[in-house]
Amino acid sequence: MTHEDSIQLDRERVLFTDRIMFALGFRHEMASKSYSGPYEFTESILYISGKSGHSVLVFFPHVEQAERGIEITTQASFNNEIESPEWKSLHEFEKEVASWIEECRGRERPHG
């Protein structure tokens, strides 16, 4: 995989994840990048809900797993407290994340 390939793959998975989260009412707040050798990848993205202020931090695999392509393991954290199951692919993330977020909202500890 070349540097250009890694950038293209990263762009695809970030756009895919952004579309999913945008549809759920979250905006892309910030991303953490990893640079290793010829590769460049996003390690995590923080999403914030415009209405509730809830946050979801989505984690991507390390550079060593780059060759696996778009079907990568993705994990998330809700408000830095509730960890998601480890999804096997972005497509599974897409299918499961909405119900997982709703479940997290129901399990949230009352503040105050």
Residue with the two structure tokens 């010829």: 38
Helix axes 90-107, 3-23, angle to 10 degrees: 40
The domain segmentation of the chain, as residue ranges, is 3-107
Q: How far apart are the first and last CA of the chain?
A: 50
Q: Average pLDDT in the 19-48 region?
A: 88
Q: Give me 41's structure tokens.
A: 């990848």
Report the C-alpha gap between 39 and 2 in whole angstroms. 7
Out of 46-55, 61-70, 73-82, least confident range: 61-70
What is the pTM assigned to this prediction? Answer: 0.82
Out of 10-19, 21-30, 72-81, 98-107, least confident range: 72-81
